[in-house]
Structure 1
Amino acid sequence: MKAQMKAQVKTHKLRNTFFLFLTAMIWGAAFVAQSVSMDYIGPFTFICLRSVIGGLFLIPVIIVLDGIRKKSQNESADVVNSENILHIETEEKQRLSWKNKQLIEGGIVCGIFLFFANCFQQTGIQYTTVGKAGFITTFYIIIVPLIGLFFKKYCGILTWISVVIALAGLYFLCITQKLTIQRGDALILCCSVLYAGQILAIDHYNPFVDGVKMSCIQFLTGGILGAVFMLLFENPSIAMILSAAGPILYTGIMSTGVGYTLQIVGQKGLNPTVAALILSLESVFSALSGYVFLHQVLTTRELIGCVLMFIAIVLAQLPDIRRKV
């Protein structure tokens, strides 16, 4: 029985690792869509629409998943005694219920972090390349374990070394020869800090709620906030929105609906820092997508910065990985 449980845990970890890898691919390509969309609409309009589409996309997904769960519970009734069934069903219903206070709270908190992270990223990407935006965004990989210090979570010596290397990488990526940081890079760096907060918030609420439902609430929260900012600061038209329909649909369905849901599901049972390492591959896919679709080529200085950032990202994860072995 124990061997079977260990095998199931290993299978789940492999599946969740694949989900996060797929998420990184989807997000990396999304930088291209985000950049192209800015030719037609403002950042708040884009965030509002992608968030609403992502949230609505998940509603039928949730209905299907709930149906699968009910079928699975009915089948398990034949092999588990009635007392255990009642106990399991009660706990599961509480966790999956829309009335779960932690679900609502977690969705709103994650949605606020995600909205403001998207605001900084969407605004900043107008002033920098897709590849640079991708690598600077993944600085959250360094920030996650550092913030963990405030919650008394272990942080090894390699993490501190990685911080130094990452700072050197950011210098090559962002700082010009006149020792000034470019506007777009500074905005993307702020976005990275907010993404770190969102990752830690997901890790906090994930064990107690249904991840897909929390993801849906997260997006709808972002959509409402986006609508408020859109109406206050922008004047979108139907023609402008239709012109950006392709990028909006990709980011709304794939990057938002599919990607962030895969992140929430994939993070379950994985160390948040290890999860962040896998998600950091987003930076590689963003650079490749920028080169293939937008013909954006990084300078030698920027390539050095990317290499240093990636080395730092990997080093930041090694203490936790070794400890888990």
Structure 2
Amino acid sequence: MTRLQANLLLTLVALIWGSAFVAQNQGMADVGPLLFTGVRFLIGAAVVLPLAVLEWRRLGRAGRPLGRVDALHIAGLGVLMTLGAVMQQVGIQFTSVTNAGFLTALYVPLVPVLAWALLRQVAHWSVWPAAFGCLAGAFLLSGAHELRVGLGDLWVIASALPWAFHVLMVGRWADRMGAPFLVACGQFAVCGLLSLLAALATEPLHWQGLVSAAGPILYTGVLSVGVAFTGQVIAQRYAHAADAAIILSSETLFAATFGHLLLNEHLNAAGWLGCGLMLACILSVQLMPLVGTLRRRQILTNPSN
């Protein structure tokens, strides 16, 4: 997969995640956040399971079965996913969809900082202004200049840290194992089981609630988890973590679009400015490294110039 193909796949992932904010909000009318998260991630694991089994057999035939360390890495990703998903889902109960979308985007500037601090990865210079530009764009898009930070906002803010660690590590470990479907299925199963166990201990469980929330649960389980999170794992084997964070932050833009189409929400001038700023940042982080590469090739081809 080329860098451009990986970035396009990440854009599709962001589109699906943006649409899922609406479903996540609607699902809270009938079930608790832990039950909603647990069931939808187990559905996502079931969607990817056939591909994971085939990949397991392929690795066995190639003499490269996954070991205990690999299992621990997958479990670690599942724990990070649980923390991020549950805190975000709890927060969505008490804040608006647009505020949740903006506040989730706080992980964008955290990813290059963590990559430098923990892995000594130096991102292309364009990543830094693009990261903060995306954050500013999400700020304008959500109308957060009018935001009063409440309980729900604090929960979503807290979810940004595990999401940042997850974005940083998922591509690294999936590429090292050469098993994106096993990584995806394993982390979904860990997240689903942990969330479901917590739901059994803390939330009232009613079958009728699950039936009423079946639409949002299936949509987010199959598409947001099964398709989009798996696409993230595959794409991030070929994309820099900081670049991926910037592109994935466009879920805020898509959330606003689906809010307009499905919930009749309207953007003001600041919102349109935020959309434009985010789009410019997303394009710049993809195009600027290519410009540098083309220049170097031109110098090598025509050293006299």
Identity %: 30
Structure 2 residue aligned with 1:224: 193
Structure 2 residue aligned with 1:110: 77
- 1:159-170 map, 5 Å: 159-161=127-129
Query: What is the CA–CA distance in structure 1 between the aligned matches of 2:288 and 2:73, rounded to whole Å?
Result: 28
Counterpart residue identity of residue 136, structure 1: L
5+ residue gaps, structure 1: 1-8, 71-88
Residues 1:238 and 1:296: Cα distance change in structure 2 (over 3 Å): same
- 1:41-190 map, 5 Å: 41-64=31-54, 92-94=62-64, 97=65, 99-150=66-117, 151-155=119-123, 159-161=127-129, 173=142, 180-190=148-158
Query: What is the CA–CA distance in structure 2 between the aligned matches of 1:237 and 1:128, rounded to whole Å?
Result: 24
Equivalent residue in structure 1 for 2:183, among 207, 211, 214: 214
Equivalent residue in structure 1 for 2:10, among 6, 20, 34: 20
Query: What is the CA–CA distance in structure 2 between the aligned matches of 1:313 and 1:184, rounded to whole Å?
Result: 28
Equivalent residue in structure 2 for 1:193, among 161, 177, 180: 161
Residues 1:228 and 1:123: Cα distance change in structure 2 (over 3 Å): same
5+ residue gaps, structure 2: 295-305
Structure 1 residue aligned with 2:240: 271
For residue 42 of structure 1, report the CA deviation from its aligned partner: 0.6
Residues 1:66 and 1:222: Cα distance change in structure 2 (over 3 Å): closer
Residues 1:160 and 1:270: Cα distance change in structure 2 (over 3 Å): closer
Matched, 1:31 2:1: no
Structure 2 residue aligned with 1:243: 212
For residue 192 of structure 1, report the CA deviation from its aligned partner: 2.1
Query: What is the CA–CA distance in structure 2 between the aligned matches of 1:322 and 1:154, rounded to whole Å?
Result: 18
Residues 1:311 and 1:233: Cα distance change in structure 2 (over 3 Å): farther
For residue 279 of structure 1, report the CA deviation from its aligned partner: 1.8
TM-score, normalised relative to structure 2: 0.81
Q: Report if aligned partners of 1:131, 1:298 keep a CA contact under 8 Å in 2.
A: no
In structure 2, the residue corresponding to 1:93 is in which secondary structure? coil
Q: Report if aligned partners of 2:7, 2:247 keep a CA contact under 8 Å in 1.
A: yes
What number of residue pairs does the alignment pair up? Answer: 291
Counterpart residue identity of residue 236, structure 2: Q
For residue 270 of structure 1, report the CA deviation from its aligned partner: 1.7
For residue 162 of structure 1, report the CA deviation from its aligned partner: 5.1
In structure 2, the residue corresponding to 1:153 is in which secondary structure? coil
Counterpart residue identity of residue 291, structure 1: H
Q: Report if aligned partners of 1:111, 1:217 keep a CA contact under 8 Å in 2.
A: yes
- Render the CA deviation track for 1:23-54: whole Å, top value 9, x for unaligned: 11211111111010001111000011011111
For residue 119 of structure 1, report the CA deviation from its aligned partner: 1.2
For residue 272 of structure 1, report the CA deviation from its aligned partner: 1.6
For residue 141 of structure 1, report the CA deviation from its aligned partner: 2.1
TM-score, normalised relative to structure 1: 0.77
In structure 1, the residue corresponding to 2:29 is in which secondary structure? coil
Across the aligned residues of Structure 1 and Structure 2, the Cα RMSD in angstroms comes to 3.0
